[in-house]
């Protein structure tokens, strides 16, 4: 279902859709999971393979991240250093329809499902490895949530934005993403990182400056 195309620091992922939710593949430490691409949150959250709550185990097709199977990742302490799972930073994330809590992990994360880490990748990107998820998560068709909000109050801190890490490590030419949501029969849509697909635009784009520091995709309007 997914394909990644790379051109001048730009990558795009084909999206699946279910009940107006758009999701696609993500590789973490060589393990593939599906994530919803959420413009209203700022962190990556994936369930641990050891998560036993109904929110984790109640999904029809549940996949969790196995930290013990990763050779490139590590748990992260409160001061940002590598540690074990006992001393890892604990925190929680609340959404409009659900809540997750767990510990901090960092690993190599790739926006690619076809070529095992040969696409757009960030080393040592941080995320919440959920040890508990509320029952709401059992209704979701995807495994995790990848937040695409700008830096601000929604972020858990430096290193938690995959988009920022991809730019900082030179994998993307600019901090930009674009969504194409199909209204026809040519697939659910496409998410492009680092730019936009000009073939998907019927005319020139209008650019608006985002209000800085708020952590949301907010633009000023005048009455």
Each residue's pLDDT tens digit, 112-131: 545 444 578 999 999 999 99
SS3 annotation, 58-115: CCCCCCCECHHHCCCCEEECCCCCEECCCCCCEEEEEECCEEEEEEEEEEEEEECCCC
CA 75/CA 111 separation, integer angstroms:
21
pLDDT higher than 80, residue 190: yes
pLDDT single digits (tens) 40-94:
999 999 999 999 999 999 987 778 999 999 999 999 999 999 999 999 999 999 9
- Torsion angle of alpha carbons 110, 113, 116, 117, nearest 10°? -20
Residue 66, both tokens: 């196995």
Q: Is the pLDDT of residue 202 over 90?
A: no
Q: Which of 2-16, 96-110, 153-167, 200-214 has the lowest mean pLDDT?
A: 2-16
CA dist 100 → 19, 97, 185 (Å): 21, 11, 35
Q: Name the average pLDDT for the chain.
A: 87
Radius of gyration of the chain (CA): 17
Per-residue pLDDT tens over the stretch 38-49 = 999 999 999 999
């Amino acid at each position: 279902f997914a394909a990644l195309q790379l051109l001048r620091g730009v990558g795009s992922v084909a999206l699946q859709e279910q009940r107006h939710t758009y999701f696609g593949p993500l590789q973490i430490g060589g393990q593939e999971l599906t994530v919803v691409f959420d413009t209203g949150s700022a962190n990556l959250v994936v369930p641990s393979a050891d998560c036993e709550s109904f929110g984790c185990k109640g999904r029809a097709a549940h996949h969790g991240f196995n930290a013990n199977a990763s050779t490139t990742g590590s748990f992260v302490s409160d001061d940002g250093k590598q540690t074990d799972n006992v001393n890892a930073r604990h925190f929680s994330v609340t959404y409009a329809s659900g809540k997750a809590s767990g510990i901090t992990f960092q690993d190599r994360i790739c926006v690619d499902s076809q070529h095992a880490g040969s696409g757009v990748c960030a080393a040592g990107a941080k995320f919440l490895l959920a040890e508990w998820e509320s029952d709401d998560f059992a209704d979701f068709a995807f495994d995790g949530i990848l937040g695409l909000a700008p830096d601000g109050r929604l972020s858990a801190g430096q290193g938690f934005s995959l988009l920022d890490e991809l730019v900082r490590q030179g994998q993307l030419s600019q901090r930009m993403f674009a969504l194409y949501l199909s209204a026809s029969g040519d697939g659910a849509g496409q998410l492009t990182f680092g730019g936009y697909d000009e073939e998907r635009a019927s005319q020139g784009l209008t650019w608006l400056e985002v209000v800085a520091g708020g952590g949301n995709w907010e633009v000023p309007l005048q009455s």
